[in-house]
Amino acid sequence: MEDNFHLDSFKARMSAAHKTPLIAINMGAPGRLSRVLNGFLTPVSHPCLPEVAAPGQMSAAEIWQGLTLLGEVKPLSFYLVGTPISQSRSPALHNSLFQRTGLPHRYELRETNQEIDFRSMLQSDGFGGASVTIPLKQQVTKIVDALTPAAKKIGAVNTVVPLDDHIRDPKCPRRFLGDNTDWKGIVYVLSQKCSVHAKQWLLNTGRWVGGYDARCYLCITLPWDSVQFTFWRGIRTRPNASQQSFRIIMSKF
């Protein structure tokens, strides 16, 4: 254990004298602490490998767990916000990934249709980010401090993350960025080798690939032509909803 303290002192002296990042670790089981604290290009193993490449080598998940125990990684809470969301599989997906990677975070459902609940959640201790769904996607654009270009053009937000200024300096006020990634899901679906009719159905229904506004953004911003699609906005809730048409090219995919 004492060797790890000597190594840490050596790293501090070298870091003060040189700007080049330093990789410094001790070997063997007693040197695992130095691997946890190394911080730059630490060699790691993986549970699927038949054996470790060097004595004392750890997996990335074990290093994250070690950093958490030392208080170097703060547990964060992530949320899916909106309603109805009780059937969402997002918590199972994200929490499984957190567990497998050794991160101490949690992903939870926050069922609400109230802006005040969302504002309160943003200011809660340990807020790490949120996925936003109906009916709050448009309201959130007025709550966050900044929007990505896509979120501005679409006029709706499905992802909120803290900006780095507060993370770097806790004295800075907390600020949040809103993004919209729905259109990326649409591009992925359309890029798959399925029929034109299947792509038309996916665009017109929006099933699994994003909201109406994201579909409109995709169609009016990308240089497509030749194929006509008609989107019916709010057809389930507004019987007299007007239709809007956009021309896109399927041969692009």
The predicted structure's pLDDT at residue 144? 95
Tokens of 30: 């007693």
List the domains of the chain with CATH numbers. 1-70 (no CATH), 76-179 (3.40.50.10860), 191-252 (no CATH)
Beta-bridge partner residues of 232: 243
- Name the phi and psi angles at 243, rounded to 5: -90, 150
Which residues, at least 6 apart from 76, have a Cβ–Cβ distance to it below 8 Å?
104, 105, 106, 126, 127, 128, 129
Buried residues in 171-206 as b, exposed as e (16+ CB within 10 A): eeeeebbbbbebbebbeebbeeeeeeeebbebbeeb
Confidence of residue 217 (pLDDT cuts 50, 70, 90): low
Pick the more confident residue, 202 or 237: 202
pLDDT tens per residue across span 100-143:
999 999 999 999 999 999 999 998 989 999 999 999 999 999 99
* 159-193 pLDDT tens trace: 999 987 766 677 778 899 999 988 787 777 666 65
The amino acid present at 3, given as its one-letter code, is: D
Lowest mean pLDDT among 155-164, 199-208, 223-232: 223-232
- CB count within 10 Å of CB 87 equals 6
pTM higher than 0.85, yes or no?
Answer: no
Instruction: Provide mean pLDDT across the span 145-168.
Output: 86
What crossing angle do the helices spanning 90-101 and 60-69 adopt, rounded to 10°?
A: 90
User: What pLDDT was estimated at residue 182?
Assistant: 83
Confidence at residue 214, expressed as pLDDT on a 0 to 100 scale: 59
Beta bridge partners of 176: 162
Torsion of CA 51, 55, 57, 58, to 10 degrees: 80
User: How far apart are the C-alpha atoms of 27 and 246, rounded to whole Å?
Assistant: 62
- Residue 103 C-beta-side C-alpha neighbours within 13 Å: 14
CA 38 – CA 91 distance, rounded (Å): 32
* Helix (H/G/I), strand (E/B), else coil: 163: coil
Residue 228: its H or E element: strand 227-232
Return the pLDDT at 173.
81
Give 232-236's long-range contacts (Cβ < 8 A, gap of 24+): 232/204
Please tell me the predicted confidence (pLDDT) of residue 198. Answer: 55
Q: What is the pLDDT of residues 20-60, one digit of tens each?
A: 999 999 999 999 999 999 989 999 999 889 988 888 999 99
Q: Please give the structure tokens belonging to residue 58.
A: 């750890």
